[in-house]
Amino acid sequence: MKFLDLAKVYIRSGGGGGGCVSFRREKFVEFGGPDGGDGGRGGDVWAEAVDGLNTLIDFRYQQHFFAKNGQPGMGRQRTGKDGDDIILRVPAGTEILEEDQETVVADLTEVGQRFLLAKGGNGGWGNLHFKTATNQAPRRANAGQEGVERTLWLRLKLIADVGLLGLPNAGKSTFLAATSNARPKIADYPFTTLHPNLGVVGVDNAEFVVADIPGLIEGAHEGRGLGDLFLGHVERCAVLLHLIDGTADDVVADYDTIIGELEAYGGELVDKPRLTVLNKIDALTEEEIAENRAALEEASGGSVMTMSGVARTGLIEVLRALRSHIDKDRLRMREGREEPQKWQP
């Protein structure tokens, strides 16, 4: 299944049915009079977060969602049938934006949340409503109210507890594969990861979700490489895991590149709790590890952990450090399961 995190949709609520102009004309009815019914209400357009979805791929093949119109009123005081509603079923974590892609209409973060995107039009009154003592045979009825038409953008921000950051080939996918049942693509060339991957990681009988996004390069906020399109997927994370390739020529420059891109992206992403880890220490000597670690601690102003995703060295310590930054209400406790469950788009 392909991954899609941005989709444009066109919606329109149903228009109300028109009122009816009608009079009673039965042969044996002594008093006639107006009996036109009201028009039915138009259908609404709703958005609902549902379980079992983690991509917006369905909206690639259908972009138009039009609710049904209400039926017109009829004689004998019969009201027209209301139009059927239409529901846009989206994954939890979907933001709904106006056509400018900036104004947030709704943010559906939990399964079961619903939001009214477009209200259906009211049905028009039939001529029965206009009967008065001085106008006992009105020949007028209201037309139904027109529906609302909108163009919206759907943007998915994955619900994850930990977000992985780093340059291409920093070892993010290797870390995800080593700690979960997810199987992201791993290779020795940049931009192996082309779309976000999710994995459920377990440590000390607790589980949390880790999101791996494509690597950032200098100038990503200006569209270089894959740009910063996928940074939105780590906005909801409780903690960020910043992996740095220990075999790089200048680990401090690599660190500054990612921090600079976070600052250019804006929002609260740069202020989130962040764990800095020197990766690929299996390819370094003890002296190189100590030198790179000291340089990173001076640049970051905090402690730096070390690990190797390939050799599985230091993984447990990193996972425990990540768990300490996640609130208890976000953790899922395991009961008798030794292996975490796979969850990958």
Specify the pairing of strand 305-306 against strand 274-279. Answer: parallel
User: Residue 309 annotated as binding?
Assistant: yes
Q: Is 89 left (phi over 0), alpha (psi -120 to 50) or beta?
A: beta
Tell me whether residue 170 is annotated as binding: yes
Q: Give 212: exposed, middle or buried? Use CB within 10 Å, 0-12, 13-18, 19+.
A: buried
Name the burial class of residue 263, with classes exposed (0-12), middle (13-18) and buried (19+) by CB atoms within 10 angstroms of its CB.
Answer: exposed
Closest by CA to 164, choosing from 155, 173, 154, is: 173
Residue 168 marked in a binding site: yes
How many angstroms separate the most distant Cα atoms in the chain?
108
Q: Is 195 annotated as a binding residue?
A: yes
Q: Which residues of 34-70 are buried (b: 16+ CB within 10 A; e: fewer)?
A: bbbbbbbbbbbbbbebeeebbbbeebeeeeebbbbbb
**Which residues have a Cβ under 8 Å from the Cβ of 33 and sit 6 or more positions away?**
23, 24, 131, 136, 137
Q: Is 194 annotated as a binding residue?
A: yes
Coil, strand, or helix at residue 65?
A: strand
* 329 marked as binding residue: no
Distance from C-alpha of 305 to C-alpha of 276, rounded to nearest angstrom: 6
166 annotated ligand-binding residue: yes
Residue 171 annotated in ligand binding: yes
Q: For residue 212, say whether it is annotated as part of any ligand binding site.
A: yes
Whether 117 has a binding-site annotation, put simply, is no
Three-class secondary structure of residue 315 per DSSP: helix
Report whether 173 belongs to an annotated binding site: yes
Residue 193 among known ligand-binding residues: yes
- Residue 127 annotated as binding? no
87 among annotated binding-site residues: no
Does the annotation place 158 within a ligand binding site?
no
Known binder of ligand: residue 167?
A: yes
Confirm or deny that 51 is annotated as ligand binding.
Answer: no
How far apart are alpha carbons 145 and 47 in whole angstroms?
22
CA dihedral 61, 212, 207, 57 (to 10 degrees): 0
Asked if residue 169 belongs to a known ligand binding site, the reply is: yes
Q: Point out the annotated binding site for GTP.
A: 166-173, 191-195, 212-215, 279-282, 308-310
Annotated binding-site residue numbers: 166-173, 191-195, 212-215, 279-282, 308-310
Which parts are annotated binding residues for Mg(2+)? Answer: 173, 193
